[in-house]
Chain A
Amino acid sequence: MTWVGQRVARKEDLPLVTGTGTYVPDFNLPGTLEVAFVRSPLAHARILNIDTAEALSAEGVVAIYTGPDIRDQVHALVLDQEAAPPGLETAAPEIHPATIEILADAEVRHVGQAVAAVVADSRYHAEDAAELVRIDYDELRAALDPEQARLPGAPIVFDNVPNNVQARYRIRVGDADAALDGAEHRLAMKIRSQRVMAAPMETRGVLASTVGEETTVWSSTQIPWAVRNSIAGAIGVPQRQIRVQIPHMGGGFGQKVNVYPEEVLVTYISRVLHRPVRWVEDRVENMIASGHARDQLHNVEAAFDSEGHITAIRDRFVLDSGVACPYPLSSAYNVASHFRSMYRIANFSIDAECVLTHKMFNLPYRGAGRPEAAFVMDRVINAVAQELSLDPAEVIMRNLIADEEQPYRMGMPYRDGHEVVYDASGFPAAFERLLELIGYAEHRRTQAQLRAQGVHRGIGLGTYVEGTGVGPFESGQVHVDAQGHVVVYSGCAPHGQGLDTTMSQVVADAFGITPEEVVFRAGDTALLPYGVGTFASRSVVTAGAAIIESSNRLLKRIKAIAGEMLEMAPEDLEVGAGRVRVRGVPSRGVSFKEVYRAASPGPGARLPEGMDPGTSESFYWVPPTVTWGFGVVGAVVDVDPETGVVDVRKVVMLHDCGRVINPLIVEGQIEGGLVQGIGATLYEHVIYDESGQPRATTFLDYLLPTSAEVPEIVQEHLEGTPSERNPLGVKGVGESGPISPPAAIANAIIDALSPLKIQLNELPLSPATVVAAIERAGAEGPLHPTGVKIGFPASNQSGGFLR
C-alpha cells in the first residue's frame, strides 16, 4: 500500500483533542517566575524617568528590568535576514536592517513597546507591580501616515533611516510608460489593503529554564533556529548554550516568524536569576505588540485595448512598516513577483517603499504580499471590464496565459534572485472549470430576475499564483534506532500543519512501514546543526525534499550493511515491514534492529569496507528556486444595498499544489485559509487613531470570522502539474486560501450591484464601506426612500433596487 495520497487522520491529534497537549503556558516547572511587561501608552515619546521603587517592594516581586538596566548586557535585535541575494540587482532593492529594542532605552516608538519587565512569583503579582512602575514621558510628534512620513519635516522613527524609507525597490519589465502613453484605454485606481493581524488563537509565549550553562527556551515561534541565534547574539553567549524548542503551538500564520524582544529578555533573566522564567502574552498585548500585516496603499494605472487585453501595469505603492518591516522582500517584494498573476501582461512597472511610522511592526502574514497584489490586479481586471461593459469572466479569459506559452517567463527575478518562470500550466482550463462549478452562465441568466425579486446576488472572480517552497534551505535527518524505529528529524517547525503525519506518510512509503511507525521530531535546535522553520508555504516542499533525500541515502546505507550481513549485493535487496529482505525470497533478511546493531561502533560491527558506523543520514535541501502553485476563486454573495451587509453564500476554489500527499490536510489548509481571507475582506481591521492609539485591542473590536460567517466552500485539486523542482513533486499550499477572497468578494459585491457601477477599492468591505460606495456611485441617482441616494440607470427597468 502507498501512503502518499491517502486521507490519513493525523498522528498528532490525540493529545490535542484530549487536552493533554503542552503549550508554553501549560508547563509546570517548579519555581517558575512569571513576567509582566510595562508597555508604552504613547506612540512616540522620550522617556524622562522610570521609578520602580514602589513596584519593587510589592508582594511577590523578584526583579524589575528597564532599558538602562540591561543596556550593557543585552543588545537590540538588528534583523537583517532579508539582505537582497544576487540576482536582484535590477530591482535595486535598498534595505535598512530593522532595529528592535529589547526594552525601550530612551524613546518609545509605538503604543505597546516594552519599557520595563516585572518578574514575580505569579503573573497576578507581576501585573500588580507593573501598575506601580511610574514612567514620565515627554510626548513627541508621531509619524502615522506613511505617505506623509516619507516627506521632509516628518518625525523620524530611527535616525539611521533617512526619510523613514526603510526599504525600496523598482521593477521594470518591458516599457510600461510608453505603453500607457500610447494606450487605447487607460485607468487609474487607488487601492488599499488595510492593516490586519494574524491573531493565532494562542498568543506568543516563552519559557526559559537554565541548567548549568545551557538554557532551554520553549517558545511559540515559527523559526526556532533564528530565535536561538538571535538570543545568543543579543546576550553574548555561544549559540550551543541556547536550545530553542517549540512545544505544542497554537498557530502562527506569520506572526511568529520573527524574533521578538521578549524571547531574548526572558532567556536573559533566566540566566541571571537561575530560575525558570516565563512570559505569556495576553490578548491585548498580542494585538498591540505582536506583528501586524498588509497595510499597503497602491496607486495603479493600467493600459488596455478595446477588447480588454491589458498591455501595461504601472504601480507605485507604499507599505506602512510601523517601526520595522523585518521582511521587506516578503511583505513588499512578493507583491511585484505575484502581481501579474496568471495574466500575460508584457509591460510592468512597480515602485515600492516600506515607510517607517510609529505603529507596531509589519510582518508577513499568510499570503505575504500576495493577497495585496491579487486584490489590486483583480480589481483592475474587473474595472477594465466595467469600463468596456464586458463580462469580467471574458476579460480574465482574454488575458490568461495559454498553455502553449508555458513555462511562462515573467521577465523579473523572484526574491531568491532567480527569474520568475512558472512551472505550471492549465490556467484557461482551470478558469473554465471554475465558471462551470460556480454556475456562472446560469447566474448571468437569472441575475436580473433575482434582482427584480429584491435579491442582489453577484459572482466575483479572482486568480492567483504562488511561489512556494522558498529557500534558503531546509534540513532533514533520518535514522534507524536501536529498536528498529525509523526516526525523522527536521528543521521545520510544525504548529498545526500536520507535518508529522504528512512527512510520516512519505517516509512510510520509502521504508515500507506505516506512518504510525515513523517517529517524527522537529522544531528543536538540539536535533540538527541547521534548520529554518515553517512559514511561506515551504515545509512540505523543502523539509519534504530534505527528508526524502535523507531517506534515500539511508536506504542505500542500510542495504549496504544488510548486504554485508547477508553476503548479498545491495541491488538484490529490498526494504519492507521493518526489514531488509532478499528480493524474491522475503523470508531471508535482517530486521532494522539487526542492521542497527551491525552498524554500531565496536567490535560487533559488520560494516562494508570503509563505511563509517551508524544508521543515520542527513540532507540539506537547497531549492533551485520556488515552485509555482496557482488557483482560481469565485465568490457568490448577496448584498443588502440598504445596510451594506454582505452575505457570502459560497466560495469555490480550484488550486494546483502539485502532488497531494494528504488530501484531508490539504483541504483543511484551503478551508482555513479561505476563511481567514473572508475575515480580512469583510471584518478585520487594525485601526490607529490620529494620535497613534490602536483602536482594536480586543476581539470585541477586532472581529474574527466565526462559524456563522462561513459560506459553503467547494474546492477541487487540479491534477496535472506535479512540480519538477523538487523530488516529491509537491508545491506549497498553506498560504493559498487567503490570497483571492478580497478580490473575489469585492468583485462579487460590484456584480451584485452592477447597474450602479460601484467601486470597492479599500478593505475591509464593511457595511459602511459598501453603503458609502453605493452613495458615491449614486450621487446623481434617485433618492432612496430611506434617504440613501442610490444610482440606478434608467435603462435598467427591473426596479430591484427600490423594492
Chain B
Amino acid sequence: MKEVEVRLTVNGRERSARCEPRTTLADFLRGHLGLTGTHLGCEHGVCGACTVLLDGATARSCLMLAVQGQGHEVTTIEGLGTPENPHPLMRAFSEMHGLQCGFCTPGFILSAHEYLRENPRPDRQAMRKDLSGNICRCTGYVKIFAAVERAAELMAEPEAARS
C-alpha cells in the first residue's frame, strides 16, 4: 500500500515518518516513533489504555488514524515524565500503589492528568465517574483514586511554596 508522510508534534518535538494511510495513531506512535508507553488493550475504544493527549485533551489513539494527527500536538506518557524526572502523577501512582500490572497505567495517568487540570481539588465521588473511561483489571480502582488525590497534593506543593 502506498505510504504517506505524517508530520506532527509529539511531546514537544516535531516528528515525521512515512506510513500507510490506514495506520492508527497508536500504531504510528508505537511502531514508527518507538513510543511504546502507549498501550493497546482493546483496539475498539473501550479500555482507554491507548489514551494520549491531542492538543491537550484526552483521545483514544486506537480509534484515530495517524494522518488525522497531522499538524496536531500529541502528548504521550513519555512526554509527561521520565524515569529520571517522573511527573507527580507517576510518583503518586507508585506511592499509593495505584498500579499492579501497569498495563493500563500510562492511559490512566493521562486521563488523570486531564481530570486534575480541570479539578485541581479532586472529589472522589466525581472522580469515580470522570475516570470511568479507563479500565483497570488489577487494582479495583480504590488506590487509583488515592493516587490521583495524592498527585493533586504533590502538584499543589510548588504553588503553595511560591505563595
Residue on B nearest A700 in the bound complex, by CB: B46
In the bound complex, residues from chain A placing their C-beta under 8 Å from that of B1 are 59, 124
Report whether A675 and B42 are in contact in the complex, using a CB–CB cutoff of 8 Å.
Answer: no
> B25 near A: Cβ within 8 Å?
no
Count of interface residues, chain B, beta-carbon cutoff 8 Å: 60
Instruction: List, sorted by A's number, 19 A–B pairs whose CB atoms are closer than 8 Å.
Output: A17-B90, A17-B99, A17-B102, A18-B81, A19-B76, A23-B39, A26-B36, A251-B103, A283-B43, A668-B140, A671-B139, A671-B143, A672-B100, A698-B46, A699-B46, A704-B137, A706-B133, A707-B127, A707-B145
B-contact bits for A682-718, CB 8 A (1 contact / 0 none)? 0000000000000000111000101110100100000
In the bound complex, residues from chain A placing their C-beta under 8 Å from that of B109 are 17
Report whether B83 and A699 are in contact in the complex, using a CB–CB cutoff of 8 Å.
Answer: no
In whole angstroms, what is the CA distance A708 to B104 when docked?
A: 16
> A428 near B: Cβ within 8 Å?
no
Q: 8 nearest interchain CB pairs?
A: A19-B37, A16-B102, A250-B103, A496-B101, A19-B77, A675-B140, A671-B140, A699-B46
> A676 near B: Cβ within 8 Å?
yes
With A18-B86, A713-B140 as given contacts, are A282 and B43 in contact (CB-CB < 8 Å)? yes
Looking at the assembled complex, report how far the CB atom of A195 sits from the nearest CB atom of chain B, in whole angstroms.
18
Report whether B137 and A251 are in contact in the complex, using a CB–CB cutoff of 8 Å.
Answer: yes
With A668-B100, A672-B140 as given contacts, are A17 and B94 in contact (CB-CB < 8 Å)? yes
> A495 near B: Cβ within 8 Å?
yes
In the bound complex, residues from chain B placing their C-beta under 8 Å from that of A17 are 86, 89-91, 93-94, 99, 102, 105-106, 109
In whole angstroms, what is the CA distance A21 to B93 when docked?
A: 15
Beyond A672-B139, A708-B129, 12 additional contacts (C-beta under 8 Å) are: A13-B102, A18-B90, A19-B35, A19-B106, A20-B78, A22-B36, A26-B36, A671-B140, A706-B132, A707-B131, A708-B132, A710-B141
In the bound complex, residues from chain A placing their C-beta under 8 Å from that of B103 are 23, 200-202, 250-251
> A10 near B: Cβ within 8 Å?
yes
Report whether A14 and B94 are in contact in the complex, using a CB–CB cutoff of 8 Å.
Answer: yes
Looking at the assembled complex, report how far the CB atom of A703 sits from the nearest CB atom of chain B, in whole angstroms.
9
> A665 near B: Cβ within 8 Å?
yes
Taking chain B's interface residues, is the majority helix, strand, or loop, or is none over half, making it mixed? loop
In the bound complex, residues from chain B placing their C-beta under 8 Å from that of A676 are 137, 140
Residue among A200, A496, A667, A737 with most chain B CB within 10 A: A496
In whole angstroms, what is the CA distance A201 to B36 when docked?
A: 15
In whole angstroms, what is the CA distance A282 to B42 when docked?
A: 7
Residue on A nearest B49 in the bound complex, by CB: A201
With A251-B137, A708-B129 as given contacts, are A124 and B86 in contact (CB-CB < 8 Å)? no
Report whether A704 and B135 are in contact in the complex, using a CB–CB cutoff of 8 Å.
Answer: yes
> B136 near A: Cβ within 8 Å?
yes
In the bound complex, residues from chain B placing their C-beta under 8 Å from that of A283 are 41-44, 47
Residues of B128-163 contacting chain A, CB below 8 A: 128-129, 131-145
Residue on A nearest B78 in the bound complex, by CB: A19
In whole angstroms, what is the CA distance A51 to B35 when docked?
A: 38
> B55 near A: Cβ within 8 Å?
no
Residue on A nearest B131 in the bound complex, by CB: A707
With A17-B94, A19-B36 as given contacts, are A698 and B44 in contact (CB-CB < 8 Å)? yes
> B73 near A: Cβ within 8 Å?
no
Report whether A698 and B141 are in contact in the complex, using a CB–CB cutoff of 8 Å.
Answer: no
In whole angstroms, what is the CA distance A200 to B145 when docked?
A: 20
In the bound complex, residues from chain A placing their C-beta under 8 Å from that of B76 are 19
In whole angstroms, what is the CA distance A721 to B142 when docked?
A: 27
Residue on A nearest B101 in the bound complex, by CB: A496
With A21-B102, A251-B137, A699-B46 as given contacts, are A667 and B97 in contact (CB-CB < 8 Å)? yes
In the bound complex, residues from chain A placing their C-beta under 8 Å from that of B127 are 707
> Total number of A-B contacts with CB less than 8 angstroms?
181
> B114 near A: Cβ within 8 Å?
no
In whole angstroms, what is the CA distance A568 to B99 when docked?
A: 48
Report whether B93 and A202 are in contact in the complex, using a CB–CB cutoff of 8 Å.
Answer: no
In whole angstroms, what is the CA distance A17 to B90 when docked?
A: 5
In whole angstroms, what is the CA distance A12 to B94 when docked?
A: 9
Residue on B nearest A125 in the bound complex, by CB: B1
Interface residue from A25, A201, A710 paired with B101 (Cβ < 8 Å): A201
Looking at the assembled complex, report how far the CB atom of A438 sits from the nearest CB atom of chain B, in whole angstroms.
17
Residue on B nearest A664 in the bound complex, by CB: B97
Report whether B132 and A707 are in contact in the complex, using a CB–CB cutoff of 8 Å.
Answer: yes
Report whether A253 and B137 are in contact in the complex, using a CB–CB cutoff of 8 Å.
Answer: yes
> A429 near B: Cβ within 8 Å?
no
Residues of A582-610 contacting chain B, CB below 8 A: none
> A73 near B: Cβ within 8 Å?
no
Interface residue from A496, A699, A704, A707 paired with B102 (Cβ < 8 Å): A496
In the bound complex, residues from chain A placing their C-beta under 8 Å from that of B140 are 668, 671-676, 710, 713, 737
Residue on B nearest A203 in the bound complex, by CB: B41
Residue on B nearest A697 in the bound complex, by CB: B44
> A199 near B: Cβ within 8 Å?
yes
In whole angstroms, what is the CA distance A21 to B132 when docked?
A: 24
> B22 near A: Cβ within 8 Å?
yes
Residues of B24-83 contacting chain A, CB below 8 A: 30, 34-44, 46-47, 49, 76-78, 81-83
In whole angstroms, what is the CA distance A730 to B94 when docked?
A: 24
> A9 near B: Cβ within 8 Å?
yes
A-contact bits for B1-16, CB 8 A (1 contact / 0 none)? 1000000000000000
Residues of A256-300 contacting chain B, CB below 8 A: 282-283
In the bound complex, residues from chain A placing their C-beta under 8 Å from that of B139 are 668, 671-672, 675
> A5 near B: Cβ within 8 Å?
no
> A15 near B: Cβ within 8 Å?
yes
Residue among A253, A676, A707 with most chain B CB within 10 A: A707
Report whether B132 and A498 are in contact in the complex, using a CB–CB cutoff of 8 Å.
Answer: no
Report whether B106 and A497 are in contact in the complex, using a CB–CB cutoff of 8 Å.
Answer: no
Report whether A18 and B36 are in contact in the complex, using a CB–CB cutoff of 8 Å.
Answer: no
> A28 near B: Cβ within 8 Å?
yes
Report whether A200 and B101 are in contact in the complex, using a CB–CB cutoff of 8 Å.
Answer: yes
Residue on A nearest B77 in the bound complex, by CB: A19
> A248 near B: Cβ within 8 Å?
yes
In the bound complex, residues from chain A placing their C-beta under 8 Å from that of B134 are 706-707
> B95 near A: Cβ within 8 Å?
yes
Looking at the assembled complex, report how far the CB atom of B90 sits from the nearest CB atom of chain A, in whole angstroms.
4
B-contact bits for A601-621, CB 8 A (1 contact / 0 none)? 000000000000000000000
